Structure 1
Amino acid sequence: MASDLKDTFWKRLDNVTAGLLSTDSERPIPMAPQADRDNKAIWFITAKGSAADRAAQSGGEARFDVADPKAGLYAVVEGKIDIAGDEKLDDVWNAFAAAWFEGGKDDDSVQLVKMTPHSAEVWATEGSAAFLYEVVKANLTKDTAEGGEHGRLAF
């Protein structure tokens, strides 16, 4: 089951538009993840001097929380965060990132960071129609609703 859930995690993370990234003792901040299953990494485009940048400078620990009903993914991902070179920036640059940097990807304040997950607790749910069906069924039969897949992953 864990390998199936891991596969589901990476596929659904591709559809997540934002989550909360927290580093060290800093407050969580909304960030858009860029899933990279092949490299077992999650990339974030941030600004130099941000909490994510400061933690990555020291190779610190990070936590990424996801609650995305459209993607059917709820997760708490923990891992190491590091500064990344610009070689991956072209692959992960998008319109969301462009909205925050006047100079585009060549803006001097752009900083790419890489989170390498070491563990995650994941809940993968079905679409809203399937979830609604489970709620109705549970209320009619007095059983509990089926919430989808849940488990802990190691990367």
Structure 2
Amino acid sequence: MTDHNHQFWSRLDDINSGMLGVTQDSRLVPMSHYTDRKVGVLWFITAKDTDLARSVASGPQDAMHVVSDGGQGLYARIHGTLSLSDNRAKLDELWNAVASSWFEDGKQDPDVQLLRLDLTEAEVWATGGSMAFLYQIAKSKITGDKPDMGDHYSLTF
């Protein structure tokens, strides 16, 4: 039997980005996420003047992060509460070359803003990845059976 929680986090760890937005606004934007499975949180580094940061400046908002990665075989719609964070230790931990490309003064740049998405639930489709997909399609053509596309499940955090 598949441990769905482990499968979800393991595959999400290997995916670099998705589309993030607050639920009250249908606009999703591409964002790199950083997983913290121990506490059920996704972290994001953005700029204070972005629409996304401004949308949670007055307080936490319901939000959604959507990931799609055929190579890792994970497709997920992840819901949670998005808020601003001033956790400098977490920013130090997450800071990397990609993040530094966006901020002239590095992590000391006054425009750097850390976002925290506390997960509440996720709907997940986990497949065997792109090679398994091709195999299942070919197998279905030979056997006449429907292809096995993997697991579909929901998680509550």
TM-score by length of 2: 0.91
Cα deviation, residue 13, structure 1: 0.9
Amino acid at match of 2:28: P
Cross-structure match for 1:131: 133
Structure 1: stretches of 5+ with no match in the other structure: none
String of CA shifts for 1:109-134, please: whole Å, max 9, x gaps: 11001001101100111132222111
Cross-structure match for 2:67: 66
Cα deviation, residue 71, structure 1: 2.2
Contact map agreement 1:56 1:113 (CA 8 A) in 2? no
Cα deviation, residue 51, structure 1: 2.6
Q: Which moved more, 1:109-118 or 1:63-72?
A: 63-72
Higher helix proportion (structure 1 or 2): 1
Superposition RMSD on alpha carbons, in Å?
1.5
TM-score by length of 1: 0.93
For residues 49 and 80 of structure 1, the distance between their equivalents in structure 2, rounded to whole angstroms, comes to 20
Contact map agreement 1:42 1:116 (CA 8 A) in 2? yes
String of CA shifts for 1:17-52, please: whole Å, max 9, x gaps: 111001131511000010100111000001102232
Identity over aligned pairs, percent: 42
Structure 2: stretches of 5+ with no match in the other structure: none
Cross-structure match for 1:77: 78
Cross-structure match for 2:11: 12
Cα deviation, residue 140, structure 1: 1.2
What SS does the aligned partner of 1:38 have?
A: coil
Amino acid at match of 2:102: W
Cross-structure match for 1:118: 120
Number of aligned residues:
154
Cross-structure match for 1:46: 46
Cα deviation, residue 67, structure 1: 0.6
For residues 122 and 55 of structure 1, the distance between their equivalents in structure 2, rounded to whole angstroms, comes to 26
What SS does the aligned partner of 2:49 have?
A: coil
What SS does the aligned partner of 1:39 have?
A: coil
Cross-structure match for 2:106: 104
